[in-house]
Amino acid sequence: MDVYQVLDKFARRTVLKRRGIVIGSETPWLEAFLLEFGASQVTTLEFGAIKSTHPQISTFTPQDFTIKFLQGEIAPFDFGFSFSSIEHDGLGRYGDVLNPAGDLETMARMLHVIKPGGFFFLAVPCCVDALKWNAHRIYGPLRLKYLFAGWKIVTVVPENVMQSTYSQPVWVLQNTVGCKESFDFMSGIWKFKDYL
């Protein structure tokens, strides 16, 4: 499974002993993976109210989360993960308000919710541009560039995903907003002083 591949490769630097947010989760399978890989705390953001009694999991609806975040009651997170969720934002399928740019707005908000230099793991359908009304969007070369605005693409799993007609890969993104970066000429890697 692509989620395990990504976490095997990146969890030690991005998830282990860190706070994370899950965007969209009707059942806590992703939260269980993140706790298995050592996350200290996981917050789930979901349109429908979820009740959790697990000491390392907290849950919010978007409205409650926004109010508490803006009041400074929720600190920015070290990482985020969303699997098959953001492509629905703004289409009304889950009772949300119709908004043609709902997915793009969610990704822009995550730049404030995830710390500078923090990682966001995102799985959305790709790799042709399409809208399956009102179920979901499929992302291709046109909309992916808007979805990833402000984010550095670290990798995608599987790597050859853009050669297929439909799949749901896991994109590994890094928040570059507010980062102090330096380029390591020996390794050819950008290093983010605020995080790594």
Per-residue pLDDT at 148 exceeds 50? yes
Beta bridge partners of 20: 42, 79
User: What are the residue ranges of helices labelled H in 75-114?
Assistant: 102-113
Q: What's the confidence (pLDDT) of residue 194?
A: 46
Whole-Å CA distances, 68 to 43, 104, 109, 171? 13, 22, 14, 28
Q: How far apart are CA 142 and CA 140, in angstroms?
A: 6
Q: Name which residue leads in pLDDT, 159 or 38.
A: 38
∠ CA 74-7-121, rounded to 5°: 50
Question: How many angstroms separate the CA atoms of 51 and 65, rounded?
Answer: 15
pLDDT of residue 175: 94
Dump pLDDT digits (tens) for 27-67.
Answer: 899 999 999 999 999 999 998 888 889 999 999 998 899 99
Q: State the pTM of this model.
A: 0.87
Task: Name which of 77-81, 117-121, 146-150, 181-185 the model is least confident about.
Answer: 181-185
Predicted confidence (pLDDT) per residue in 166-196, tens digit: 588 999 999 988 776 644 434 555 555 544 4
CA-wise closest residue to 60 among 39, 32, 41, 78: 41
User: From the CB of residue 137, how many other CB atoms can be counted at a distance below 10 Å?
Assistant: 24
